[in-house]
Amino acid sequence: MPAYTAPLEDMRFVVHELLADERLQSLPGNEEFSADVLDAVLEEAARFCASVLQPLNRSGDEQGCLFENGVVRTPDGFKDAYREFAAGGWTGLAADNDYGGQGLPETMDALVNEMLCASNLSFAIYPGLSHGAYRLIRRYASEAQRNAWLPPLVEGRWSGTMCLTEPQCGTDLGLIRTHATPRGDDVFALNGAKCFISAGEHDLTENILHLVLARTPDAPPGTGGLSVFLVPKFTINADGTLGPRNGITCGNIEHKMGLNASATCTLNFDDAQGFLVGGLHQGMRVMFTMMNGARLAVALHGIGIAEAAYQGAVAYARERRQGRALDGPRSPEQAADSILVHPDVRRMLLGMRSQIEGARALSTWVAARYVHAQRNPDAQARDDAHDLVSLLTPILKAYCTDMGSEAANLGVQIYGGHGYIREHGMEQLVRDARVCQIYEGANGVQAMDLVGRKLPAHAGRYLRRFFQPVAAFIADNSDNGDLTEFVAPLSEAFALLQKATRWIAENGTRDPNEAGAAASEYLRLFALVAMAFMWARMARIALASESKNKFYRGKLATARFYMQRVLPQTASLYACIVAGGSSIADFEDEAF
């Protein structure tokens, strides 16, 4: 397995320099988190990931989870690692102090999560879902329910799941059949079957809280008739102790392409006791709290895998000797130069690095905006931040997971045949990364969410929350000659994004198939511009920095690569969008 070292210098740069004007420390509840405290958290997480989680990544993949008589066992070492993880307080990192959490801002949670995903994505999925369950319960459950359910969840003694998918129902949640029959006092009996449920059954925690989308009798058809129910694996007594086993059984676990140490379960509900959370027929609104958080978390799956692939590829490129540099030998004393001298290998490495660092900046910015949406005392500032998070959530989910898969594949390419065989662990990254483009809403569906819901929302209000700061940045910096090489391409690509947006608004309203055909290219165009915005801001900081050390020189050089070699993709994406969707829509079904 390639060694993974958390990119702490870049993470510190993002938190302390790029996002300095977010002033997170001035928000209520954040006052105690000095730069030193945040750095100490990142360092400790990095140590845990390198020493505990990463060594289990390969063995977890090879051993996989074991299903026997309804019981799921995680691979050797996972239980101990989880115990240490929970004891270290990591399960409650961004949870409220009131429930036993550390109360750290979500920016920290995002960066720590990236480390977990880079070192062992299968492991990261277990606590990741618990945090999503925490957010849903905290927002929608009654005070008594919060007090009963949240402390053990935060402590890591219990875990959570998100139960949406059924065999006949994936993207289209209106097809859900699992039903909930009232038994009085917001207690329901659930019957039905869910499939593909991550962490649906395992041996890491004492109890599992399943958050289940189900239909009540006489509910309207489609998504409008769905409600969310909390269904515990073990029933919970009034004093918080565990009662008898609830009517939920694990029917099987899936045998998958990757993520072998993450249990993906079939769950059967037979008169299982469930509690309504967040109001009858409010299921989609309530579940979106968990789904949106999970989409941002899955973006980190992509970034984490990409970072692991990049680090492996750089290490290999330095030591593998093949051929000579085109302009003459670099290591004449050796039989061949390292492959790092070849422009094509450098192109692949820089393609990975520029997108990873851009995506890290963008996702942490969105996490900072999320903190404002939660904690800013000013209602307008909260709403503005919420709009931006809503807009960028599908973009981050789809772009970062596509990037994770591309980077994992490039990692294999740089290793050549040694990447394709199991020995070096690069092929595991490809297998583990692939599903991130599918779960939490397939990436094509994210693109539909962007063009169908987020663009038209409140007459373009979400969009303005992004367009305005980009336009202001361009205006503020267009006279700065040193920045021209970064601001000019940003400005050009931003103009294309605005034109593409107008094109979709006009043509998509006339014919929704036009919006559907343009959606994926539009999402990618948007993501590339959003990352260019981050890169231009990072370049400005690096240029202004008194220290011209290796880190800042690397930042500027990577920003330059991004502007010259990645951002120009926006022109071809724009050309595809405005070509229209007739070549797609008019293709005869029989001809496929």
Ligand X SMILES: Cc1cc2nc3c(=O)[nH]c(=O)nc-3n(C[C@H](O)[C@H](O)[C@H](O)COP(=O)(O)OP(=O)(O)OC[C@H]3O[C@@H](n4cnc5c(N)ncnc54)[C@H](O)[C@@H]3O)c2cc1C
Q: How many CB atoms lie within 10 A of CB 333?
A: 5
Q: How buried is residue 196: exposed, middle or buried, by Cβ count under 10 Å (0-12/13-18/19+)?
A: buried
Instruction: Tell me the CA end-to-end span of the chain in Å, nearest whole number.
Output: 41
> Which of 155, 440, 514, 521 is the catalytic position?
440
d(CA 394, CA 523): 8
- Of 50-58, 191-199, 320-328, 414-422: span binding ligand X (CB under 6 A): 191-199
Does 163 bind ligand X (CB under 6 A)? Our answer is: yes
Cα–Cα distance between 210 and 189 in angstroms, integer? 14
Q: Which one of 189, 438, 457, 541 is in contact with ligand X (CB under 6 A)?
A: 438
Query: Binding of ligand X at residue 441 (CB under 6 A)?
Result: yes
* Closest chain position to ligand X (CB): 170
Classified as helix, coil or strand, 104 is coil
Kindly tell me which of 114 and 449 has the beta carbon lying closer to ligand X.
449
Please give the Cα distance from 487 to 493 (Å, whole number): 10
Q: State phi, psi for 333 to the nearest 5 degrees.
A: -75, -15
Of residues 292 and 376, the one with the C-beta less far from ligand X = 292
Touching ligand X, residues 300-359 (CB under 6 A):
none
401 binds ligand X (CB under 6 A): no
Q: Based on CB atoms, which residue is closest to ligand X, 65 or 112? A: 65
Q: Shortest approach of ligand X to residue 213 CB, angstroms? A: 8
Query: Is residue 520 involved in binding ligand X (CB under 6 A)?
Result: no
**CB closer to ligand X out of 409 and 520:** 520
CA contacts within 13 A on the Cβ side of 501: 19
Q: Which is nearer to ligand X, 14 or 259 (CB)?
A: 259
User: Would you count residue 260 as binding ligand X (CB under 6 A)?
Assistant: no
Mapped onto helix, strand or coil, the DSSP state of residue 162 is: strand
- Phi, psi at residue 101, to the nearest 5°? -85, 180
Instruction: Candidates 132-140, 283-291, 366-374, 431-439: pick the segment binding ligand X (CB under 6 A).
Output: 431-439
Q: Give the 3-state secondary structure percentages of the chain, helix then strand then coil, rounded to 5.
A: 65, 15, 25
Query: Which of 1, 2, 6 minimizes the C-alpha distance to 115?
Result: 6
Q: 3-state class of 251 per DSSP?
A: strand
CB of 276 to ligand X, least distance (A): 19
Shortest Å distance, C-beta 250 to ligand X: 13
Quickly tell me which residue has 């969707």 as its tokens: 581
- Choice between 199 and 487, CB closer to ligand X: 199
- Residue 222 burial (CB count, 10 A): 14
Residue 311, C-beta contacts closer than 8 angstroms, at least 6 positions apart = 2, 3, 4, 5
Q: Shortest approach of ligand X to residue 62 CB, angstroms? A: 18
Of the CA atoms within 13 Å of residue 79, those in its CB half-sphere come to: 11
**Interface with ligand X, residue 264, by CB under 6 A:** yes
**Binding test (CB under 6 A) with ligand X, winner from 196, 229, 399, 522:** 196
| Separation of CA 574 from chain center | 26
Q: What DSSP line would sit under 274-289, residue for residue?
A: EEEES-TT-HHHHHHH
Q: Got the DSSP string for 65-81?
A: -EEETTEEEPPTTHHHH
Amino acid sitting at position 236 = I
- Least distance in angstroms from the C-beta of 264 to ligand X: 4
Identify which range of 224-232, 256-264, 312-320, 423-431 contacts ligand X by CB under 6 A: 256-264
Residue span binding ligand X (CB under 6 A) among the ranges 274-282, 441-449, 460-468, 561-569? 441-449
In angstroms, what is the minimal distance from the CB of 177 to ligand X? 14
- Contact pattern for ligand X over residues 462 through 501, marking x by CB under 6 A: ----------------------------------------
Q: Does 457 bind ligand X (CB under 6 A)?
A: no
**Nearer to ligand X by C-beta: 294 or 340?**
294
Q: How far is the CB of 463 from ligand X (least distance, A)?
A: 21
CB of 120 to ligand X, least distance (A): 15
Nearest distance, CB of residue 440 and ligand X, angstroms: 6
Binding residue for ligand X, selected from 171, 468, 564, 572, defined by CB under 6 A: 171
Q: Note if 440 is an active site residue.
A: yes
Q: Which stretch binds ligand X (CB under 6 A): 148-156, 397-405, 436-444, 499-507?
A: 436-444
Q: Please tell me whether residue 193 binds ligand X under the rule CB under 6 A.
A: no
Listed residue (82, 97, 167, 170) closest to 130, CA to CA: 82
Member of 104, 435, 450, 527 binding ligand X (CB under 6 A): 435
Is there binding between residue 108 and ligand X (CB under 6 A)? no
Number of residues that bind ligand X (CB under 6 A): 21
Q: How many CA atoms lie within 13 A of 1 on its CB side?
A: 21
Rank residues 38 and 265 by Cβ distance to ligand X and give the closer one.
Answer: 265
Residue of 374, 284, 300, 307 lying closest to 128 (CA atoms): 300
156 near 188, Cβ under 8 Å?
no
**Taking contact as CB under 6 A, which single stretch among the options 9-17, 340-348, 439-447, 569-577 is the one that binds ligand X?**
439-447
For residue 450, which of 494, 391, 400, 362 has the smallest C-alpha distance? 391
Contact footprint for ligand X (CB under 6 A) = 162-165, 170-171, 196-198, 256, 259, 264, 435, 438-442, 444-445, 448
Give catalytic residues, as residue numbers.
440
